[in-house]
Amino acid sequence: MVLRRPGAPLEWTTLPDRTPGAGEIRVRVTACGVCRTDLHVVDGDLPNPGRPVIPGHEIVGRVDALGEGVKHLKLGQRVGIPWLGYTCGSCSYCACGRENLCDRPLFTGYTRDGGFATSAIADARYAFALGEEGEEVAGNGQVRHQV
């Protein structure tokens, strides 16, 4: 589901699967939460979203392709992809371990494509192994947050 401009309805769109670049993975999405922040992105309450962008930053899925150099994740592994989707690794905040304040971050579903899709590309540094415990979607249709 693609947001072409803030305030527009999401568009059901068919796109080719992307190949993950170095340090990235492709995740086959099995569930993605809908968060108030997604609504802020779609409504234009947050400045300068990607254009176009696929919203959704509470992704659960399985790794289905590994980019060059990714060693800590395996094909088929269940992972979660959060809001903070990339940091530069070199600014003063990243250098002191406060990468949540990075000067040049990318945010999943806002400034990089997110999880309202069949698959998503993620920075492997911001893909977290979830293990196999629990289901990503509860019986009542609500997405369970897996922390």
Binding site for Zn ion (CB under 5 A): 35, 37, 87-88, 91, 94, 102
Q: How far is the CB of 39 from Zn ion (least distance, A)?
A: 10
φ, ψ of residue 29 in degrees (nearest 5): -75, 130
Q: How far is the CB of 74 from Zn ion (least distance, A)?
A: 27
CA-based nearest residue to 23, from 125, 128, 129, 127: 125
Residue nearest to Zn ion (CB): 35
Helix (H) or strand (E) holding 38: helix 36-43
The number of residues making up the chain comes to 147
The nearer residue to Zn ion, 87 or 119, going by C-beta atoms, is 87
Q: How far is the CB of 105 from Zn ion (least distance, A)?
A: 7
The nearer residue to Zn ion, 18 or 23, going by C-beta atoms, is 23
Tell me the three-class secondary structure of 71-95, residue by residue.
CCCCCCCEEEECCEEECCCCCHHHH
The nearer residue to Zn ion, 35 or 65, going by C-beta atoms, is 35
